[in-house]
Structure 1
Amino acid sequence: MTATSDPNPEVSDEQQQRSEIYTYEAPWYIYAMNWSVRRDKKYRLAIASLLEQYPNRLQIVQLDDSNGEIRSDPNLSFDHPYPATKTIFIPDKDCQKPDLLATSSDFLRIWRILDDGSRVDLKSLLNGNKNSEFCGPLTSFDWNEAEPKRIGTSSIDTTCTIWDIEKETVDTQLIAHDKEVYDIAWGGVGVFASVSADGSVRVFDLRDKEHSTIIYESSEPDSPLVRLGWNKQDPRYMATIIMDSAKVVVLDIRFPTLPVVELRRHQASVNAVAWAPHSSCHICTAGDDSQALIWDLSSMGQPVEGGLDPILAYTAGAEIEQLQWSSSQPDWVAIAFSTKLQILRQVLLIQVHNTMRHYQSSHNNNHRFRVCHWYYIYDRQSICNSDLNSLRETLNHPSTLEQMKSQ
């Protein structure tokens, strides 16, 4: 199946080429998704099915930017036992290691994509339960970018397991929470955090395996935390999602127990969160209201009347289940809803936010500008202080602002 970019009659052909939405329709409901980070595999993603049966499917698709089509390769589409709860390509930008893909479901599986792209082979099946051939289903995992031989998994059996995938052995297995563990994220070589049905965020240091630090506990009873994102650009901050909640809680690990800010502009449950890979103060959230929102958190911690507003909003065709921000090409965000994968190029999104300081001085009301299919939302307080002088001259030109105003 292939897909082409959605047309936009409001912009020129040159602008159309630079700012697009590319859509791919899979033959099944998409759940797990991940960008490849390899420099020789631009615009490549893995998507996995959510089927109520034992055999599920996983596809590796790639955008051909010369013609704007997302293509699947039959050689890189394969069966997967049960739905994959998560999938991640090996964090190897410089292509120094084999081309690997990991998935979690009943077990942690490592797949190898052959160099000639002819097929995908199962390299390892890793079971953390030493006393049985079965194990508690894995809810999630994270691949350590600083030390790619390490993968951490989370399980409904209350444990987190740290694997050495090169030796195919368990480094450490911890009883991490009192209830099911729903997500795990690395914050460095030997530090990871997890969230659980017990409503807590806990940080673990592998140098002291007997103790953990509780960073946050939900104040609401029976409020499982289901997703966790750790800010790679500024590891002081992480974000978590509460089950069936429309808010995202942002935490500063230096000040446990109290959120530094709560993001409350979604109108339905939030399903996914992704920190910007190139900026320490931007985060994207997505949920059942079909909205993907990008936020500037540079002013978090300062009181904002009425709460913080997003700076960009995109409306999908259905509830957004998955969200990924490309670390190798930060212009691109991918979302999955229903059977569709969309790749969104949000060119100038941070830059436009920075530029509006000059335009806001004579306007008191909130405004929306359509920029590359995203909607830029600003008010007089939402100013990004990023150093973007190289782009400011172009964006500050009156014709640029007037063009955005008219869209």
Structure 2
Amino acid sequence: METSTQESPVSANVFTFDSPHPVYAMAFSPSSASPRLALGSFVEDYSNRVEVVGFDEDTLAFRPDPALSFDHPYPPTKLMFHPLSLPLLASVCDSLRLWGLGPDSTELRSVLDNGKSSGYCAPLTSFDWNDVEPRRVGTSSIDTTCTIWDVDRGAIETQLIAHDKEVYDIAWGEAGVFASVSADGSVRMFDLRDKEHSTIVYESPRPDTPLLRLAWNKVDRCYMAVTTMDSNRVVVLDIRSPAAPVAELQRHRASVNAVAWAPHAARHICSAADDGEALIWELPAPITVSGSSAAATTAVASEGIDPVLVYSAGAEINQLQWSSAHPDWIGIAFSNKVNHGVLLVLCFWLELPKMPFPFWSLSLLTMRFLQQFQLLRSKWGSDSKMQREGNWQLVLDVAANMMLVGKYAILP
């Protein structure tokens, strides 16, 4: 575990953790304490590991907690902490497992699967923990189903045949509404009050092109983003206007592997891809909170949308997560040359205040910063200098020169 050694302000904002195993599954804890993550290994074997690492503010480094690391059967395809910060961690692979995290030990609380009668459990591709009703966890499976679990009772609430082919991802919107993406190329939305029907929000223009990842905007739940197999695009959808995307983000040079919305900003989204880059985008109007703009359902021209920030990892990025408790932190996972996993945590410009602070003032702060950023980009004449070698130095210089709000300044 070591911090970046680059001689620039970026080095104070980029932290790495070298895992002995390739890392795929990753989750930030929603706790308001120092940043903490769970990391799942990806080894093509039955024996895998989950590590919990925490940020040490004295040494400015992420350190593993051996007492909270444990063996896991098969590689976990996803990890999530309990959304209300209870000491629980969930994982999926062949089953949904709940792990209790004590001060100095980890306990397997329950193993939930729906194959007890046949003895066969179809692999689970993903899951999502409902942040409005935390008793509900939804899982997706290659057997075309989505299963909604009541984890308080350890029982299935409902199971739906969601698609015609394998279901690759699932995400909650409201308390009883979820969506899923599938190998059949569709995004479908389900309301648990009417289990007999679903709404097709989007279908891939190329028949049977699998959709792999789904992210639902938690600030404005009218919007979601999806990724397509072997595609460099991120498709942004408005559920009020099914079928037609409101934006397509196309600046990656290889297949997109992960996407995440900013937890406290409706128009910011991050994507990561096989080109080794993590891109942060600011979606233009009409992406507005709660549809406050009359033009909110109008498609925007997407060909000209450029990322506002670029980070180059130098290797294919497998996963990314955006911390809800610390919105200025993003984690990305990739493999180094010796096939070890590397967790890279970026502490970047969209920093929320550490103390009570009016949201409208924060919006003005961000707006002023973006204005200065655009002026600087115009000065250079192109993005090439800004993007070369993951160079965020120019962006940090803008933030430093603005000298915003004393202790709430962009630089830590």
- TM-score surpassing 0.5? yes
Assess if the C-alpha contact under 8 Å between 1:312 and 1:376 holds in 2: no
Are 1:279 and 2:265 counterparts? Answer: yes
Assess if the C-alpha contact under 8 Å between 1:105 and 1:137 holds in 2: yes
Instruction: Specify the code of the residue in structure 2 equivalent to 1:106.
Output: D
Assess if the C-alpha contact under 8 Å between 1:353 and 1:376 holds in 2: no
Question: How many angstroms does 1:354 deviate by?
Answer: 1.9
Q: Where in structure 2 are the equivalents of 1:349-368 lying within 5 Å?
A: 353-356=369-372, 359=375, 363=379, 365-367=381-383, 368=385
SS of equivalent to 2:284: coil
Are 1:294 and 2:280 counterparts? Answer: yes
Distance in 2, Cα, partners of 1:74 & 1:127: 28
Instruction: Specify the code of the residue in structure 1 equivalent to 2:47.
Output: P
Distance in 2, Cα, partners of 1:85 & 1:348: 29
Alignment match, 1:335: 332
Alignment match, 1:144: 130
Q: Where in structure 2 are the equivalents of 1:379-398 lying within 5 Å?
A: 394=403
Instruction: Specify the code of the residue in structure 1 equivalent to 2:392.
Output: Y
Gap change, CA 1:352 and 1:32, over 3 Å in 2: farther
Are 1:39 and 2:37 counterparts? Answer: no
Alignment match, 1:308: 305
Alignment match, 1:324: 321
Distance in 2, Cα, partners of 1:9 & 1:28: 28
Q: Where in structure 2 are the equivalents of 1:207-286 lying within 5 Å?
A: 207-286=193-272
Assess if the C-alpha contact under 8 Å between 1:295 and 1:311 holds in 2: yes
Question: How many angstroms does 1:347 deviate by?
Answer: 2.6
Distance in 1, Cα, partners of 2:221 & 2:27: 21
Are 1:178 and 2:164 counterparts? Answer: yes
Q: Which runs of 5 or more structure 1 residues have no equivalent in the other structure?
A: 379-389, 401-407
Alignment match, 1:4: 2
For structure 1, which segment, 291-300 or 359-368, has the greater mean C-alpha deviation from structure 2 after superposition? Answer: 359-368
Assess if the C-alpha contact under 8 Å between 1:366 and 1:377 holds in 2: no
SS of equivalent to 2:370: helix
Assess if the C-alpha contact under 8 Å between 1:85 and 1:103 holds in 2: yes
Assess if the C-alpha contact under 8 Å between 1:105 and 1:138 holds in 2: yes
Question: How many angstroms does 1:364 deviate by?
Answer: 8.3
* Matched-pair identity in %: 51
Gap change, CA 1:316 and 1:164, over 3 Å in 2: same
Instruction: Specify the code of the residue in structure 2 equivalent to 1:341.
Output: L
- Computed over aligned residues only, the root mean square deviation of the Cα atoms, in angstroms, reads 2.7
SS of equivalent to 1:222: coil
Gap change, CA 1:322 and 1:278, over 3 Å in 2: same
Instruction: Specify the code of the residue in structure 2 equivalent to 1:216.
Output: Y
Alignment match, 2:392: 375
Q: Which runs of 5 or more structure 2 residues have no equivalent in the other structure?
A: 287-297, 336-340, 352-365
Assess if the C-alpha contact under 8 Å between 2:260 and 2:320 holds in 1: yes
Assess if the C-alpha contact under 8 Å between 1:31 and 1:321 holds in 2: yes
Assess if the C-alpha contact under 8 Å between 2:94 and 2:122 holds in 1: yes
SS of equivalent to 1:356: helix
TM-score normalized with structure 1 length: 0.85
Q: Deviations over 1:88-130 (max 9, x none)?
A: 001014xxx3x0000000000000001x2x1111001001235
Question: How many angstroms does 1:68 deviate by?
Answer: 1.3
Q: Deviations over 1:211-242 (max 9, x none)?
A: 00000000113310010000000001000010
The structure where helix makes up a greater share of residues is 2
Return the match for 2:150 from 144, 161, 164: 164
Gap change, CA 1:7 and 1:376, over 3 Å in 2: closer
Return the match for 1:111 from 84, 88, 99: 99
Return the match for 2:79 from 62, 66, 87: 87
Question: How many angstroms does 1:357 deviate by?
Answer: 7.0
